Structure 1
Amino acid sequence: MRRSRGLSAALALSLAGAGTGLGLVLTPEAAAITPPVAFTADELPTWQPNGVVFAMEQANGTVFAGGTFSAVRPPDAVGGAEQEAVNFVALDAATGNPTACKLAFTVGDGTATVRALAVSKDKKTLYAGGYFGAVNGTPVSSLAAIDIETCTPKAGFHPGVPATVRALDVTDDTLYVAGDFGTVEGQTRERFAAVDAASGALKPWTANADEPGRAVKVSNDGKNVLLGGDFFTVNGTNTHALAVVSATTGAVAKTYSTIPSNSVVKHISADATGYYTANEGSGGGVFDGRMGLNTDFSEKWRDRCLGATQYVLPYDGVLYSSSHAHDCSSELEFPDGKRNFFLAQPTDHTGTAPAPVDGFVRGPRKLGWHPTANDGVGEGIGPRVMSVAEKDGVKYLWAGGEFTLINGQSQQGLTRFASTGDVGAPTTPVASAAAVKPGEVQVRWRTSYDQDDSRLTYRIYRNGSATPIATVTADSLEFERPQASWNDTTVKAGQSYSYRVTATDAAGNTSALSANAPVTVPASVQAYPDRVRSDGANLYWRYDDTVSPYVADSSDGGNTGGIQVGAPALRQSPGAVTGTSTAMGFNGTSQQVYSDHRQSVGASFTVETWFKTNTTRGGKLIGFGNNTANSSSTFDKQLYMTNTGRLAFGVYNGTARTITTGLFETYNDNKWHHVVGTQGPGGMTLYVDGQNKGTNSATNSTPYAGFWHVGGDSLTSWPNRPTSNFFAGQIDETAVYPTALTQAQVKAHFDLAKAPADTVSKVTASEDTYVNQGAPGTVYGASSSLAVRGSSAYETYLRFTLPAAPAGQVLKAASLQFKTSTQSGAGTADTVSVVPVTGTWSGAATTFTTKPALGTTPLGSIAGVPDGSAVQNVELDTAAVSAVLGSSYSLGLTSTGTDPLWIWSSESTAADAAPQLVLTFGQK
C-alpha cells in the first residue's frame, strides 16, 4: 500500500557428539552467503544525495542515479565536502564515489526530476526520462539521450514529451516510453510511446492508455512489450494495470483482469524464464506484492504481501525487491507489523508449485537476505530502485530511494551491497537446558538471525569446555526463528551441567557464546513433565526461563518456542507443579507470549494450562490467532476467563462454539487451577481440575495458519467477553497437543502435578586449601587455585556445611563439582580420588607439615581430566554422604601419579569456579 502502516520451518539438523551416537559431522567450508542469494547484507560506504533517487542504471562499472536532489556528500563515517549534483550522479560501482561525469537536469518552471534511466544494448547511450527542460543547458523535453563515453547530451535527440516520463526500455532501434503524457511531438500518444533510439523521431507504434503508464518492458524475443501502470484500458480494450502489446504496432496481445482496481503496476523486469511485476495499491483488498509470469505472459505465481513493492530485480535465480512489506500473512510468512524494505525470493518454485489459494499460487518463499532501511523522506516509500553492476570481478547490488537509514546507520538515498566480504555475525543464541529424567538433558535455543544467511551452524559447549560436544545446523529467517535443540544422553543422574551455544554463518562469522544454561539431572523421573511429553505435547512451555524474551519449548522434539511481549514477570514461585518449576506473571494490560513461527492446527487438538488469579477483568489464558505482537483479526481455539471468574473454551467454525463453566463455578480465587480444552471426532470438552465441565458436538474449526498466544490476544465479539483481552495473574505448564486428550489423561495430569519430586541442594565450599610437599611450610588458604598430585605430593582439602535431608526425603545422589583452571596443562592423565578428611584443618594455617589425615576408602574418583578450563563432576558414594548430612564435612582430593590437576578455589572470581557439592533428595 502506498502509505499503509498498519510455518513451521523444517530444521535441517546435522548432529555430532557423544550424546547423539553419531560420528562428528564436519561442516564444509561454504560460500560467504547462503545460496542462491548472491549478495551480502552488509552495506558499503557510498556517496549519498540530499534528496530522493527515483531511477538507476549501470554500464561498464559505473552506476547512474537520477531523482530529485541538488548535491551528493560522502558517507557519514568518512566526512568531507559535498559536490553539486543536479538530479543526477554517476558513481564508481566498486568505490561508491562520484565519477567525473557531471550532468545537470533542470527545468525553467517547477521542480526538475529524473524518473527513469535506460542504457542502450551497446552500453554507449544512456537515456533519461522525467520532468526537465534541459541537460547541461542543452534543451530537451523530459526525454534525453546521453553519450556515455563523453558524458554529454546528444543535441539531436529531443522528442517533445510535455509531461513526466516514468519508465523506459530500449531495443537496438527503439526506445519505449511510459508516463503521464497525452501527446508526443504534438501527436496523440497517451501514456505510452515509441521513438527511434538514435534520432528520437516518433514512431507510429500506438498503445494509448486511459491512466498513467509507470512500467514498460520489451519481451525476451522482442516481439511484444509489457505495459504497467494505473490504466483500465489500452487502445480501448479493457485491461487493468498490466497489458501485453505488439512491439511493432502496439496492438493489444494479452489483457489482465485479476489485479484489483485500487492497485497499479510500478515496475516490470524479466529474465530468461519469465517476467516479474512490482505492484502498489491504496485501501483494502489491494495487491501490493509481486507477480511472476511465464514466457507466454500467463501468471505462474503471485506474492500477495502487503506493502507497496516499487521495483523487482531478477538475478541468478533470485528476485530481489524493494518495498515496505509489512504483512505477508497471505504467504504464510510474517504477520502485519514492522516494515521490511528489502526482500529476496527464488524466481520460481522448486519442484511442484503449491496449490492455488483464492485462485492464486503463492509466491516462492523468502530467502535469508534482509538488509534494513526506513521510510525516509518524500512519500516515505523507502527504497525505490535497484541495479546490479560488476567491476574487477566483484558484483554490486545498488539500491536507491527515499531511505535515510541502512542497517541502522545514517545513509540517504543510495546504498550498495557486494557479492563478497560478509562480515556480519549472527545474533547470539538464547539457550536453556532442562532434564525430566535420568540420563538425558535437552539443550535448546532460539535460532539466531543473520541478515544474509538462513542456514547457520550451532556449536554446543558443555561445562565450559573449549571443544564443542555437538554441532547442529538449522534454518532461520528474520521473521521465523524456530527453536533448535539437541539431547545430551551422556549425562549422569544427580550431576550438574552447564551449556553454551554459538552460531556461525557460512562465511565463518561467529556470534558470542550464549549465557550459561545450567541444569541438574534428576535422580528419578519427574512425573508431571514426563507424562506431558509422553502424551504427545508438541508445544510445552514450563516458564522456567531466566532471561527475556525467549520461552523454551520442553516438548519431546518440539520446536515451538515463545516470545515474550511486555516483559512478563519471570520465575514466579511456587509454580503449579511440585518441584523447582516456576511460573510466569502477567499484568493483565499488555503482556503475553506468542509462538515464534507460523503453524496450522489440525481438526483434533488439546490446549492445557495452569493458572492462578484474583482478577475481576477476565482475559485470555491461551488461544490461537493470525498475528503475533499485534492483536489478531482471526482467533479461536482458546481458553479464557470471564469477569466473574468463569472459564470458557471456544472454537470458530462459522459461528463461535463455546463451553463455559457453571454460573457459580468461578476460579479467580488466587489458587492454582488446571484447565484443558479438547476438540476431536467426539466434539469439544472443557475440563477444570481434572473434571469434565461440559461438552458439545462441534468437531471442526476454521482452518488458518497462525500463532499460539498465552496471556492475551483479541476476544472481540466472543460470548461473555471479559473487560480485558489480557490476563492478570500467573500461568504455568502450558501445553498443546495434536490430539484430543482423554478424560483419563487429563485427570492423570491434574493428579501428577502434586506428585513428589526431587529437590536439589547445591552447597559451595565454605573453606578450601591445598598443601605442597615441595614447600612443606607454606600456607595456600588464600590461593585462587588448588592442586592435586601424587608425587611430589599436592593434596586439596574442601569443607562443606551439609544440609539435613528435607522431611520425608532421603539423599538419592551426590556429586562433587569443580572446574579446572585456565593455566596450561591444568588437566591430568591420572586418576583423582575423593576421600573423607579425618583430621582437623583450616585454610589459614594448614601446610604440608601440619596437614590432616585422610580416609583410605574413596567416596568417588575421576579417571583423568582433560586440559582446558571446564567443569568436572565426580559421583560420590550416596550412603557415605547420607551419614554426614547436617554436619560440617571435609573432603580431600588425592592422586598417585605425577601429572598435576589444577582447579579453581572458592577464592577465584572465574565463572562457576567454586567447588560445590550437588545433593539430590527424593522420596524414600
Structure 2
Amino acid sequence: MIGSWPRLITVVAARILLFGILGLAFWATAPMLLGWTPTTVVTGSMRPAIQVGDVVVSQDPDGRQLRPGQVLLVDDPDQRGKLRLHRIDSQQPSGEIILKGDANAKVDSTPIPRESVRGVGTLRVPFIGAPIVWLRERAWLPLLVTGLGVAGLIALAFGRFARSGTPSTPAGESPSGTPGSGQRDSADREATDRDAADHDAAGPGTHHPDTPNPDATRPDSHPRTPGRGRRGRHRGIAGAAAGTATVTALLATAAVAIAPAHAMFSDTTSRGASFTSAAAPPYRDVVLADQPLAFYEAETTDPAKDSTGQSPTRSYGVTVAQGAGREPGGGALNLSAPLSTQTLTTFRPDPGPREFTLELWMKTTASGGRLIGFGGSAEGASGLYDRVVYLSGGRLFFGVGPWGPTMLVTAGTFNDGNWHHVVAARDAAGTRLVVDGKVISGPPGETQNYGGYWRIGYDNLGGWRADPLTTSFNGLVDDVAIYPRALTADQAIAHYQAGRPG
C-alpha cells in the first residue's frame, strides 16, 4: 500500500492539474457573460507562437478606435459564414480595413468594412480549444486519450485512491487522537479482566466493589462509529461526481459556444489588444510541419530527392529546371519530355490509400495532361488508375474511383503560364480540390481497390471525363508533396497563403 505522504502528494498534484484545466475552461467561456467573443484557432499558420487549439477572446469593437497592429475578428469575406482572425495592416480613406496574416507575404486581397468587424483580440487561453479542433477533424484518438486522462485525474483527486489507507496510530494515542488514551484503555482492559476473574470466583450475583460497572460509559473510551467509513465513501463518490460534472459542463460549454476562426494569427501574450508580430515561416516549414510522406522541392540536380528522407523515388525522364522554380532562383521539376514520370517506389498494398492529399504548384500553357495520381504500375501505362489530378482544356480535374465517378472540376482555366497552387484531398468526410485558396468540395466517393504506386506526371487516363488525350504534362511542377491523410481546407489555404508569389 502506498504510504500517506506519496498518496498526499499524488492527490494534491492531481487536484492542481484538474483545477488548472477548469481554470482554462473558465477563462475561455466566462468572458461571454461580458459579451466578449471566444474563438478557437483551427489553423497552424502561426505556430509556434499561436498553437492550433488556442482560444482567443475578442472584445466588442463598438466605440473602440481601431489602429494598425490590432488583431481583429471579422466575417471572412472569402468564405461565407466563417470567421477570420488577422491583424490590421492599414486603413483606407473610405474607412475600410486592410488585414494581413502574420504568416502571409502579402496583405489580404479583400478590404473589410467596419460593420464586418466582430471583435478586437484581447485574451488568449492556450490549448483549451484543442478538443474542438479534434472534433472538427474527427481525430478520435487524441479525444479518447484526453478524456481518459481527465477521468484519471478526477479519480486520483476525489476517488477511492484519495481516501484509501489509514495513517498508523502513534504509540500512546488512540485513533481519536487523544494523547495517552491508548495506555489508559489498555490498562483499563487489564484491570477489567482481573476483576472479571475475581468476580467469577466469588460466584454469580456478586459485585466486587472495585470492579467498574460494565454498563457505565467511560469518558475516555472512543467506540467506532458504524457509519463513518460508509459516509466517507459516499463523500468521495459525491466529490468525484461533482468534479466530473463540472469538467464536463465547462468543456461542453466551450465546445458549443466557442466558434472556430481561420487564424493567420499571432502572438504569445495573454492580455491586451496589442499582439506582437511573428516572422512569416518559410513555405517549406509550413509543408513539413504537416508531415508529408514525400516532398520534392527540386532544389538540387536530382529530381527524385525527397526532403522528408522517407520515400525512395525513381524518375523516368524528369529533369530539374534550374532557376525556373516558383521562388526566384529556385528549381522546378520539368515534366515536358514525353512519358516522363516520377514514382514513389514504395508499393501501397490493396486496397490502396483511402485517405490522402496531393499538393503541388504547376505552371503551363498547355491545355491538358496528367499531373499526379495513383496507378497499378511503377512505370508505363497502368491498367488500374484513379485518385488522379489532371488538366483538360485548361481546367483542373480531381477524381476517385474507376474512370472518376466522383469528380471535382474547376470553372476557370489555369494554363496561363503563371504558377498555381493545387491541393487535392480525400477522406471519409469528402473530397476537396483547393486551387489558389479557392475550395471545391464534394462527397467522398469510393476509391478503386488495388495495390499500386503514387506517380507524378505521365500515366493512363483512358476512359476518364474530358480525357485530354495526352497523358504527359507539358509544363513545370514545384514543391510536390504527398500526405498519408487528408489536409483540411483551412490547412490547404494556409499553405497557399504561405507560398503565394509576393
For the aligned pair, the TM-score class normalised by the smaller chain equals 0.3 to 0.5
TM-score, normalised to structure 1, is: 0.23
TM-score, normalised to structure 2, is: 0.42
More RCO (CA 8 Å, sep 6+): 2
